[in-house]
């Protein structure tokens, strides 16, 4: 779960620019449209709606779509399908969930109705079957450690890299194009959501190492990076460094008996203050590491 903080930052930047305009300065940039589709490689596209985004892959034999990103906004799924239809009439064969959090995967019914098979990690299906949220389509197929989709000459590897922001994140790797789609556990220049709910320490660190061992050059995140940018391996390394710095600093305070309140009030990590949501979520991130180092939970 990582609500629209990135979108928020995205739009705030635009509106700040419009109010801070000085005489003689070029006209302010228009706010970004509600949604956009961007071509990343020959057959690979990113669909963004508000502050959320998904990857889709177009082949002559069909389309591999990912996260419907239509939570509490059913029109987003139809818009997503309309955007795919501007590019191809090929059938939408698959809809792959990045993880089970509703804000990324709710609203998939139009994809299912269009004939797509829904794929997720096996732990995601177990969670979704238990929760029975009305607007989530249950997966038809599950992945344990690794699976491969070969469609129309394109290969997509679905890889489980262990527990991180949930216990069921699948990363999607296009080995030929060297593109990786990974959602929420590797935000691009953003701190983690609140107190990292549903997250797993210390597994998260191992998971980042497993991502770094994959062969890719472009990281597509589930929320746009600053200015809408995609990520690279350097962004994965930066997330690992952030979590390491946060962990070390919080551990020291925990050992001095300063968790929770004093640590949450006093600890600052100025190296990351330009990151999205630093002001709103750093305290929550410290809280999570206080639980870990101060209570052992």
The minimum distance between CB 278 and Zn ion, in angstroms, equals 19
DSSP-derived letter for residue 219 is E
Query: Of 70 and 151, which CB lies nearer to Zn ion in the complex structure?
Result: 70
The minimum distance between CB 133 and Zn ion, in angstroms, equals 14
CA separation for the pair 61, 283 (Å, rounded) = 48
Query: Of 93 and 101, which CB lies nearer to Zn ion in the complex structure?
Result: 101
The minimum distance between CB 197 and Zn ion, in angstroms, equals 9
Q: HEC string of 39-75?
A: EEECCEEEEEECCEEEEEEEECCEEEEECCCCCCCCH
The minimum distance between CB 155 and Zn ion, in angstroms, equals 26
The minimum distance between CB 123 and Zn ion, in angstroms, equals 13
Helices (H), 136-232: 203-212
Residues 1, 4, 13, 126: which binds Zn ion (CB under 5 A)? 1
How far apart are the two ends of the chain, measured CA to CA in Å? Answer: 20
DSSP-derived letter for residue 101 is -
The minimum distance between CB 187 and Zn ion, in angstroms, equals 10
Query: Of 1 and 201, which CB lies nearer to Zn ion in the complex structure?
Result: 1
Q: Is 167 in the site for Zn ion (CB under 5 A)?
A: no
Query: Of 3 and 226, which CB lies nearer to Zn ion in the complex structure?
Result: 3
Query: Of 101 and 127, which CB lies nearer to Zn ion in the complex structure?
Result: 101
Q: Give CA torsion, residues 4, 276, 33, 95, to 10 deg.
A: -50
CA separation for the pair 11, 98 (Å, rounded) = 25
CA separation for the pair 223, 183 (Å, rounded) = 8
Query: Of 99 and 258, which CB lies nearer to Zn ion in the complex structure?
Result: 99
CA separation for the pair 267, 216 (Å, rounded) = 35
Residues 101, 194, 240, 258: which binds Zn ion (CB under 5 A)? 101
* Chain length of the chain: 297
Total residues binding Zn ion (CB under 5 A) = 4
Residues paired with residue 58 on neighbouring β-strands, in sequence order:
63
Contact region for Zn ion (CB under 5 A) — 96-104, 210-218, 247-255, 280-288?
96-104
Residue closest to Zn ion (Cβ): 101
Left (φ > 0), alpha (ψ -120 to 50) or beta: where does 69 sit? left
Query: Of 101 and 163, which CB lies nearer to Zn ion in the complex structure?
Result: 101
Query: Of 49 and 293, which CB lies nearer to Zn ion in the complex structure?
Result: 49
DSSP-derived letter for residue 25 is S
Tell me which residues in 168-207 interact with Zn ion (CB under 5 A). 184
Q: Which two tokens stand for residue 105?
A: 């995967």
Q: Which helix (H) or strand (E) holds 58?
A: strand 52-59
The minimum distance between CB 265 and Zn ion, in angstroms, equals 27
Residues that bind Zn ion (CB under 5 A): 1-2, 101, 184
């Amino acid at each position: 779960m990582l609500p629209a903080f990135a979108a928020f930052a995205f739009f705030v930047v635009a509106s700040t620019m419009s109010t801070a305009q000085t005489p003689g300065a070029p006209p302010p940039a228009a706010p970004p449209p509600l949604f956009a589709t961007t071509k990343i490689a020959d057959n690979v596209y990113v669909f963004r709606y508000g502050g959320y985004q998904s990857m889709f892959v177009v082949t002559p034999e069909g389309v591999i779509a990912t996260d419907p990103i239509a939570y509490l906004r059913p029109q987003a799924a139809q818009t997503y399908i309309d955007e795919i239809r501007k590019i191809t009439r090929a059938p939408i064969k698959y809809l792959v969930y990045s993880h089970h959090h509703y804000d990324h995967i709710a609203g998939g019914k139009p994809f299912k109705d269009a004939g797509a098979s829904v794929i997720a990690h096996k732990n995601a299906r177990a969670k979704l079957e238990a929760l029975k949220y009305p607007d989530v389509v249950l997966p038809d197929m599950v992945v344990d450690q690794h699976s491969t989709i070969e469609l129309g000459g394109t290969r997509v590897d679905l890889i489980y890299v262990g527990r991180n922001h949930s216990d069921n994140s699948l990363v999607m790797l296009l080995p030929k194009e060297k593109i990786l789609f990974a959602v929420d556990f590797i935000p691009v220049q953003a701190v983690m959501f609140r107190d990292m709910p549903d997250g797993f320490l210390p597994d998260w660190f191992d998971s980042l190492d497993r991502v770094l061992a994959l062969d890719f050059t472009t990281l597509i995140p589930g929320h746009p990076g600053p200015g809408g940018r995609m990520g690279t391996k350097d962004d994965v390394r930066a997330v690992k460094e952030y979590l390491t710095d946060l962990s070390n600093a919080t551990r020291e305070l925990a050992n001095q008996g300063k968790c929770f309140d004093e640590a949450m009030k006093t600890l600052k990590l100025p190296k990351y203050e330009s990151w999205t949501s630093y002001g709103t979520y750093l305290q929550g991130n410290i809280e999570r590491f206080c639980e870990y180092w101060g209570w052992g939970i």
